[in-house]
Amino acid sequence: MRVIAGSAKGTRLAPVPAGTRPLSDRAREGLFSSLAAEVPGARCADLYAGTGAVGIEALSRGAAFCLFVDVAAAAIRAIRENLSRTGLEKAAAVARMDVRRGLEREEGPYDLVFLDPPYDIPTEHLGSVLSLVTARISPGGAFVLTRPKRDATDVVPLHWPASKLLTYGDTRILVCREAS
């Protein structure tokens, strides 16, 4: 894995910790191409961050800040190492805790929130996380949710429809914005 574009373009990221399913370089490239103008200056959160590749890509492309949250110690070590490799640690905060607790502690607001939860996460848990996320997004902001392609999107709040739907292999990426 590597950083696709921006100030840290080409930087190789640390090995992926066991049990982590990172978003592929191709999927990240497609996602950020679709978000292009929204990233510079944005306040972001990378939830279920894994390696931190998505939030680091945002920082590399000019995001002002990114909060990284993951519960796994190996993921937190990978995120910190990747921030160090890219020189982007000053624009980041890293928290090892449950995502719900992280959101309750760090109130935002955020312009972009990236969520790449485990595919087997219980629907009720993800629904409660999305309720917290939508309450912390700034006007005009969006959340990006990664799900398996075969998965239904019924967990997405009705007033936050997908404005973009991207598919890469078995991964579906939804960019959701509040309905006006």
H or E element in which residue 168 lies: strand 162-168
Superfamily of domain 49-177: Vaccinia Virus protein VP39 (3.40.50.150)
Could you give the percent of the chain with pLDDT greater than 70? 98
Higher pLDDT, 110 or 36: 110
Domain segments of the chain: what residues? 49-177
pLDDT exceeds cutoff 70 at 154: no
Per-residue pLDDT tens over the stretch 34-70: 998 999 999 999 999 999 999 999 999 999 999 999 9
pLDDT of residue 178: 87
What is the separation of C-alpha 137 from the centre of its chain, rounded to a whole number of angstroms? 13
Which 8-state DSSP code applies to residue 2? B
In the block, which residue shows the tokens 């790449």? 116
Round to whole Å and give the CA distance between 67 and 42: 12
Round to whole Å and give the CA distance between 76 and 17: 10
Round to whole Å and give the CA distance between 21 and 47: 13
- Mean pLDDT of the region 106-129: 88
In the block, which residue shows the tokens 């939804």? 174
What is the separation of C-alpha 116 from the centre of its chain, rounded to a whole number of angstroms? 6
Asked if 60 and 6 count as a contact pair (C-beta separation under 8 A), the reply is yes
pLDDT exceeds cutoff 80 at 155: no
Q: Hey, what amino acid is at 24?
A: S
Round to whole Å and give the CA distance between 8 and 79: 15
Q: Hey, what amino acid is at 169?
A: G
pLDDT of residue 124: 86
pTM: 0.93
pLDDT exceeds cutoff 80 at 129: yes
Asked if 121 and 93 count as a contact pair (C-beta separation under 8 A), the reply is no
Per-residue pLDDT tens over the stretch 69-105: 999 999 999 999 999 999 999 999 999 999 988 888 8
What is the separation of C-alpha 90 from the centre of its chain, rounded to a whole number of angstroms? 18
